[in-house]
Amino acid sequence: MSLVIASQMEEGFDADLRAHASRPTVIKPSEAEPWAAADDADILLVRPTPAWRGNREAPRPSAWPGKLQWVYSASAGVDFYPPWLLDAPLVTCGRGVASDEIADYVIAAIYLKAKDLERVRAKSLAEWKEAPLGRVSGTTVGILGLGAIGLAVARRALALGCRVTAARRRRHLPSPVKGVELLDDVGAVVASADHLLLALPSTDATRGMVDARLLERAKPTAHLINVGRGAVLDQSALLAALDAGQLGFATLDVTEPEPLPADHPLWSHPQVRLTPHISSNYTQVRGALFNKVTSDLDRFLRGEAPSDIVDPVAGY
């Protein structure tokens, strides 16, 4: 008998999944209560829909995890889901699927800040005048969160002639990318950076980590870029640092909450560029996600561990 997969993915994805060599039975979970599919499925393929996001504080259902053997999160982060999701026997995630797309967004943000060609665009003879441009080569990109996204950014930044600094939780391990300087603590990374990348997951250890104390160490011209999770950044401290001249600019693809309230000052702040959580370019990476899911399914069926198992203690 084939595996039963309850999938929250779109129909085209599910149709391709049904064509897998194992011929799984693919069913649709309830939109309102996708966790209820635990009664019927062996594998639950989830994405952070409003039902999950709106029930992060909900108590664990009495029957969870039911007959489930495996929960597969299409997103790399699992902070969108209630903590009890991690009570399933096996939880994996889509880590790395969108890292190249997100890294390209980061590099675009760096160039847009340094080489703002629209600002110096000449539309008439009167506007034909010399104007200084910033630099990319020779600047320092500081990275907090040296996972798949951070490593993809590091490789690109090094290729562009940047210095790259980072701090990592497992300090005893060498840098996975030659040329990345591992500093003693996150404060040293912040102090070193012309462009400071936040690529951190949201966990109990990282929520609110980038606070006023840490931002005080930033260069007054520094450019902060957050593509990880909005919750890791104290947004009130960010606004205060920008207004006080302790920080130069911020590019935010993530906020807390998402979206922000209509009257939130980040929408219109002149030193903030806000984008609607689009850096993953999701529609362009569905093929990569499908390949990852089916490769992991092959491994699971052979009795091997799939990739990117989520640590329920660390939360990622």
Catalytic residues: 229, 258, 277
* Among the listed residues 197, 195, 268, the one whose alpha carbon sits nearest the alpha carbon of residue 229: 197
* Among the listed residues 149, 233, 230, 236, the one whose alpha carbon sits nearest the alpha carbon of residue 186: 233
- Phi/psi of residue 119, each to 5°? -65, -35
